[in-house]
Amino acid sequence: MFAISTRANFSAKTTTTAAILAQQKMEQLRALTWGFDILGLPLSDYSSDTTVIPEAPTGGKGLSPSPPDVLKSNQDGYCDFLDRHGYPLGGGATPPAGAVYIRRWSIEPMPTNPNNTLILQVLVTPLRDRGADSSTNTRRLPDEARIVSVKTRKAR
């Protein structure tokens, strides 16, 4: 019983950490500019580097639509790595030494209103081989967190 409870506690800690890290990234993405100016023209942040915290104003993808299947693999500009304490280690396609978590996000225009509404998704997973589940991004595995949100342009 002791071994089972120890493993369950470790899994709960990992899942909680993943959920917190996913929420942090979602808040960072939702804070990027996506609205209208006083003339009613769209304002869009397509250049902030969100692979670093705090995000850099240039050198990144911002709220640019992500490539297909970005939640399935590490793609520069839509992925970052974190250590066991949740501290960011930077982005890229290859995990750096000390990485424990992979955080991937996708930004997709909503099909019914592509110019004004985005679907944001964040997936945080421990650094490991997902096995057969790497071919799908619809299933959340144990110790992972996935958050989905919608961002709509608002007048200033």
Tallying the residues shown for the chain, one arrives at 156
Where do we find the tokens 């670093």? Answer: 52
Q: How many domains does the chain have?
A: 1
- In whole angstroms, give the CA distance from residue 42 to residue 64: 14
State both tokens at 17: 């950490």
Does residue 61 surpass a pLDDT of 90?
yes
Please give the model's pTM, rounded to 2 decimal places.
0.87
CB 114 within 8 A of CB 150: no
Domain, as residue range, for 25: 2-155
Residue 115 contacts by C-beta under 8 Å, 6 or more apart in sequence? Answer: 42, 109
pLDDT in tens, 20-38: 999 999 999 999 999 998 8
Alpha-carbon distance of 117 to 70, in angstroms, equals 19
Does residue 135 surpass a pLDDT of 70?
Answer: no
Q: Is 85 left (phi over 0), alpha (psi -120 to 50) or beta?
A: alpha
- What percent of the chain is helix, strand and coil (3-state, nearest 5)? 20, 30, 50
Residue 89 has a pLDDT of 94
